[in-house]
Amino acid sequence: MQLLVLLCCVAAAARAAPTASADSHRRTVQEAQHKLTQFIKAEGLKQDESSAVSLSIKPGCYKSTLGCFHGNLLNLTVTSTKKHRDLCSYLKKSTLKSAVSDTYEGAGTDNPLPSCRSCDSFPKTAVELVQQLKMFLQMGMSRL
């Protein structure tokens, strides 16, 4: 009887663990979205919701895409250095990298790793860059 109770507890804990992880990842991405919104407001960047922003990310390229956003944000000339610094440092957090990462299904097989988008191809203007980062975070949230 005690063994049955123990097995039930272990099974329940195993089912609850992915949910806890997903919730943690969701909160991490939401915090990144919040920091991005604060940065946009502090910089006075006008977001044109009507313009279509396309962002396509190959499987296996989410971490490198996040790294490109971080690097390109560092190069922006900004007026609100504190909000800029907060956003940039948050984009470097390993918890955010884990939240948005994906596993390339071809890894360990004969399939080569995907060639990810070059960081040089990201928008150079602040408005376009933050629009794409906003979309990237929304994509990350929808995957959770």
- Sequence-separated (6 or more) residues with CB below 8 Å from residue 101: 62, 63
Given pLDDT bands bounded at 50, 70 and 90, which one contains residue 91? very high
Q: What is the pLDDT of residues 20-76, one digit of tens each?
A: 688 888 999 999 999 999 999 999 988 766 565 678 888 888 889 999 999 999 999
Whether this model's pTM surpasses 0.75? yes
What's the CATH number for 21-143?
1.20.1250
Rounded to the nearest angstrom, the gap between the alpha carbon of residue 124 and the centroid of all alpha carbons in its chain is 19
Sorted by where each begins, the domain ranges of the chain are 21-143
* pLDDT number for residue 115: 85
Q: What is the pLDDT of residue 16?
A: 46
- Between CA 100 and CA 30 the distance in angstroms is 11
